[in-house]
Structure 1
């Protein structure tokens, strides 16, 4: 993923804050020799373990957090993970199409403007650890439930106890140790204030899917541009 300086995350807090509200992505796992990667859409819970100062991998062997997920036991990813536990979790959202006239410089005819896409993307490079013990799987699922269903309302997940205990054998857990992060927020950061304002006004007027969230991100990043 190409990341221009004006599209890069300002710091780890920016991508971590965005990722906290985007917990569905695609897990890419290396396929066998001569085979393409395997890609699995999945919900996940990201857990930050410490604050860092850059989006590069840590040099002291530490991590940038962990990701918790689970998949059905028959999933074809398991043999691939055993063979190559280095994986990539990709999350993309808040994407919109920007028509060319919105991007035209002030001294250029509107019809000469170049259309583009705006989007946010976070890629987590991880080392995958498979969780198979009943107690460990139950703890992982409780952590996921705390994330996705904090209001409660469901029975606790306890190994060997109803209603979920007997179902644990049908899944395997995944703990992904995050070792590197690449984050991109492509929201016209290299354009002039006037062009960015025109894009924001266009998104507000159009009011399509994700237009409001993309506009909020563009305005927030414009306000903190270096």
Structure 2
């Protein structure tokens, strides 16, 4: 992923905060030589500790075909992309050029976590991992906890395998016209507010939040 200086996060807090509110991504696992990688969409829980970059918790069904590839090579990439919007060329045209000379582009936020994967098969550890995920997605409660060997979910644990992903490198990008002049950025923000398509509000918030002014 190309990251221009004006698209880079201002500090680790920026991407960490964004990631805690975006908890669905694609887990890429290296395939055998000559084969493409396996890519698995998944919900996950990101914990900012331990280590310098934190840890990701998730789980997949035991019949998932990616397990042999993951066990052969535990180096994986979790990619998370959201808050994206298509920006028509005329919106982004420089102030001193005709609108039709403007270059269309995309806005988006992206965080890529390079991780070392650890498979969790111990029933008690797996139950704890699942309960921590549920606590993240369902803080209001309402579901019985998973407990190894006990109803209602103990019988389902053998059908799942947990994944603990220790993050060893982070690449983050917030592509929101950071190199454009303030009048052009204001024009784009006004068009996003007017169009009001899905993700436009989030993209405009990033654009305004990251304004050099």
d(CA) in 2 for partners of 1:82, 1:99: 44
> Contact (CA 8 Å) 1:137, 1:168: kept in 2 or not?
yes
State the partner residue of 1:102: 91
* Aligned-pair CA distance for 1:157: 1.1
State the partner residue of 2:113: 124
Confirm or deny that 1:18 pairs with 2:13: no
What is the TM-score with the length of structure 2 in the denominator? 0.98
Confirm or deny that 1:197 pairs with 2:210: no
d(CA) in 1 for partners of 2:145, 2:125: 14
* Aligned-pair CA distance for 1:156: 1.2
Q: Give the SS at the match of 2:34.
A: coil
Cα RMSD, aligned residues only: 1.0
d(CA) in 2 for partners of 1:106, 1:217: 22
State the partner residue of 2:27: 27
Confirm or deny that 1:176 pairs with 2:169: no
Q: How far does the alpha carbon of each residue in 1:50-84 deviate from its partner, in whole angstroms, 9 at most, with x for none? A: 6xxxxxxxxxxx44100000000010111111100
Q: 1:144 is matched with which residue: 133, 150, 158?
A: 133
Equivalence map 1:27-66=2 (5 Å): 27-49=27-49, 62-66=51-55
Q: 1:154 is matched with which residue: 120, 131, 143?
A: 143
Q: Give the SS at the match of 1:156.
A: coil
Q: How far does the alpha carbon of each residue in 1:135-173 deviate from its partner, in whole angstroms, 9 at most, with x for none? A: 000000010011000000011111111110000000000
Q: Give the SS at the match of 1:81.
A: helix
Q: How far does the alpha carbon of each residue in 1:33-52 deviate from its partner, in whole angstroms, 9 at most, with x for none? A: 111100000000000016xx
State the partner residue of 1:57: none
Number of aligned residues: 213
Q: Give the SS at the match of 1:105.
A: coil
Where does structure 1 differ by over 3 angstroms across 4 or more consecutive aligned residues? none
> Contact (CA 8 Å) 1:63, 1:177: kept in 2 or not?
no
Confirm or deny that 1:209 pairs with 2:198: yes
d(CA) in 2 for partners of 1:204, 1:173: 42
State the partner residue of 1:135: 124
> Contact (CA 8 Å) 1:88, 1:126: kept in 2 or not?
yes
State the partner residue of 1:86: 75
Q: Structure 2, unaligned stretches of length 5 or more? A: none
Q: Structure 1, unaligned stretches of length 5 or more? A: 51-61
Q: Give the SS at the match of 1:209.
A: coil
Equivalence map 1:66-85=2 (5 Å): 66-85=55-74
